[in-house]
Amino acid sequence: MGYTGHTSTPPRSIRVILGAKIALACMFFGSTMLTNRYHSALSMKDAPVEMEWQQLADQGLTDNSFVTLTDVQLKQADDNSFDQFMDQFGVDADTEEIEAQFAAAMEDMDAAEVFAMSMAPIQVIPIGADPNSTRELIAIPRNEAWMTEAEYQLDEYGTLSGYVSSFSGDEIAKAMVKLFDVEDAVLEERLAGAEKVYVLQPMREPLDKSQASTNFWFCGLGVSFGLILCCSGGPSALCCVFFMLPSLISLLGYPMRYGRGGNFAKLVYLIIGGALAGVGYQFLIAEGQLGQPNGNPFMHAIGFVALFVGFGAMLSVPTQILCRKLAASVEPPSNRKASKRLSYEAACSLTPPEPEEDAVTPAYIMRTQTNAADALLDSTGNSADTQSTSTQSTSTSASAENAVDPTTYFDSKLTEADAYSLDDELQSISDSLAPLGFASPLAIQWNHQGQTTPTLIQLGCENMVVCDVEMIKGDAYTRLVSVLHDGIAVITLSKGYPVKQDQRLGTSGYYSVADSHQPIDMIGMHLQETVSKAEKRNTSVVLIDTCEVQHACHFGRRVLAEIQSQYGEIDQEVASKNYGRFNVPAKRVIGELTTA
């Protein structure tokens, strides 16, 4: 009935229509045919009990509904029956003469009465008894196959065997009066004085109990799972118009459809299902006496419907749980939280958990700070020794990049920008980030094979986020990078970023694509994802020092490339590399270099 992470799902009308048809068909055939057949099979023993007509009239049925009558015959049709009425017209007579005789006969006889008498069941009476003075005790319905079997048994064996039921027309009326609590003195008096009439279904062998039981349970479970299938789908507008009954039935599953419903909803379904199953048991066993010779098929039908509708309500709970687990095992995990996102101010003021100080040593912190500072000097060229050779190193690096293997990932360069200034769009982005505590932009630019691009790199949000914006052909491409203490990078990309999926999880990090290309709109989602990942992984967010900003930029790009390579989005091999405290593949980040 749905699965985790789906907030909206298109209508599934085929489920509604197919499930309702299965449930209604099984409900009809089960309540009218299969339940009665199962009851008949249970009430019949392997061998019939022999009885005379008078013995049945005096003693009634025993505990065996499979009876052999030893001194009986079939009552012949009355002279005014429909067959006798039609036999008076010869086939050789003139057509006009037949029409005249037929019209004259119809004036003297009630055709409706003749037709009703022709449809009346055949009476079974003792041999030699007067048909007109013998009371109605045993009847065989007007069924061609049953009549043929009865005549064959009497001609061949001189006895009549079959299933005998005491539930006739008067018994049905009594059951209706009892069920609906009808208060009618005249009707009650007439029913109380009515003599019991038995219905005989001729057969030489008892019904197969195993087959009858299989059909009963198969049809009943068809009702249960048909309802589950119907209620698991949502009807479309056309379905509501052309298939109103299935659409109404599907509303029974709305509270748990598409992964809805918590433990309370499941408990309610279990309680309702158990109550309906109890009602079904009451009608089937206690009131209907299933499997007993005096059983009530009318009660059996009601009990069948209530029992398996209740089973459907109870089975819907484990079915939903299994479907959600199956969906979670075959679908990419959803990393978006359904809870309300934090405001920018609240998200930026989040305090990460305390670092594990027992794993931090002063020597380690000093060594890391020194390495980070040396790397910053090497990459920006602020050292006096490297300024004189900046032009030569730039040309050398460009030549090296042109000669590298295109199937191997190499870092782009971050170079110092002479007379650094931001264009209008980047300046607007920088101004919008200032209220969130972002520092001034670094005077560096990305260099791709000797070509520099306008770049905005800032550190903010309590030193938890590096914002890396790059202008390419007039479009801004943004990467927000945060790092967790277990070494995993959390990256948020701007809308339209050239990736094939909106989110992917790799061995060294996770990226997701925001709904906007403006960093100010991306911050809330990014911090929500970062905090969520930290909570799930039982870790905290790394506080990035100002001397580690370039390391974080390179680290974020390499992790993104590694994820794309793992999923086949790019045909490049991403090698292992460390950027100060940050490593690919991911390794635990120990300690902090700064205090927010």
pLDDT per position as a tens digit, 411-428: 888 777 765 677 778 888
User: Do 426 and 558 lie in a common domain?
Assistant: yes
pLDDT for residue 519 is more than 60: yes
Q: Domain boundary residue among 304, 330, 356? A: 330
Task: List phi, psi (to 5°) of 199.
Answer: -110, 130
Query: Within a domain: residue 137?
Result: yes
At 75, is the pLDDT very low, low, confident or very high (cuts 50, 70, 90)? confident
The whole-number average pLDDT for the span 581-586 is: 87
pLDDT for residue 131 is more than 50: yes
Top-confidence range, 249-253, 321-325, 344-348? 249-253
Q: What does the pLDDT look like over 338-358, one tens digit per residue?
A: 444 444 444 454 444 444 444
Query: Within a domain: residue 559?
Result: yes
Q: What is the pLDDT of residue 423?
A: 76
User: Do 153 and 229 lie in a common domain?
Assistant: no
Percent of the chain residues topping a pLDDT of 70: 72
Query: Within a domain: residue 236?
Result: yes
At 161, is the pLDDT very low, low, confident or very high (cuts 50, 70, 90)? very high
Q: Domain boundary residue among 330, 359, 390? A: 330
Residue 262, amino acid: G
| Between 77 and 185, residue with greater pLDDT | 185
pLDDT for residue 211 is more than 80: yes
Q: Are 439 and 546 in contact (CB under 8 A)?
A: yes
Q: What is the pLDDT of residue 593?
A: 62
Q: Are 461 and 478 in contact (CB under 8 A)?
A: no
Top-confidence range, 93-102, 168-177, 233-242? 233-242
The whole-number average pLDDT for the span 100-129 is: 70
User: Do 225 and 369 lie in a common domain?
Assistant: no
User: Do 532 and 387 lie in a common domain?
Assistant: yes
User: Do 217 and 200 lie in a common domain?
Assistant: no
User: Do 350 and 303 lie in a common domain?
Assistant: no
At 58, is the pLDDT very low, low, confident or very high (cuts 50, 70, 90)? confident
User: Do 18 and 52 lie in a common domain?
Assistant: no
User: Do 74 and 220 lie in a common domain?
Assistant: no
Query: Within a domain: residue 365?
Result: yes
Query: Within a domain: residue 561?
Result: yes
Instruction: Give the integer Cα–Cα distance in Å for 490 and 328.
Output: 22
Instruction: Give the integer Cα–Cα distance in Å for 45 and 199.
Output: 18
At 367, is the pLDDT very low, low, confident or very high (cuts 50, 70, 90)? very low
The whole-number average pLDDT for the span 130-137 is: 81
Query: Within a domain: residue 4?
Result: no
Top-confidence range, 66-80, 178-192, 476-490? 476-490
> What is the domain count for the chain?
3
Q: Are 142 and 83 in contact (CB under 8 A)?
A: no
User: Do 421 and 566 lie in a common domain?
Assistant: yes
Query: What is the residue range of 285's domain?
Result: 13-31+211-330
Residue 86: CB atoms within 10 A of its CB come to 12
User: Do 178 and 82 lie in a common domain?
Assistant: yes
Pull the structure tokens for residue 130: 């007067």
At 581, is the pLDDT very low, low, confident or very high (cuts 50, 70, 90)? confident
Q: Domain boundary residue among 307, 330, 353? A: 330
At 23, is the pLDDT very low, low, confident or very high (cuts 50, 70, 90)? very high
The whole-number average pLDDT for the span 141-168 is: 88
The whole-number average pLDDT for the span 226-249 is: 91
User: Do 127 and 254 lie in a common domain?
Assistant: no
Q: What does the pLDDT look like over 334-343, one tens digit per residue?
A: 444 444 444 4
User: Do 542 and 407 lie in a common domain?
Assistant: yes
Pull the structure tokens for residue 84: 């006798």
User: Which region among 224-228, 385-389, 463-467 has the lowest average model confidence (pLDDT)?
Assistant: 385-389
Query: Within a domain: residue 550?
Result: yes
Model pTM score: 0.51
Q: Which residues of 314-326 are buried (b: 16+ CB within 10 A; e: fewer)?
A: bbbbebbeebbee
Beta-bridged to residue 578, according to DSSP, are: 583
Instruction: Give the integer Cα–Cα distance in Å for 436 and 522.
Output: 12
User: Which region among 298-307, 400-409, 442-451, 481-490 has the lowest average model confidence (pLDDT)?
Assistant: 400-409
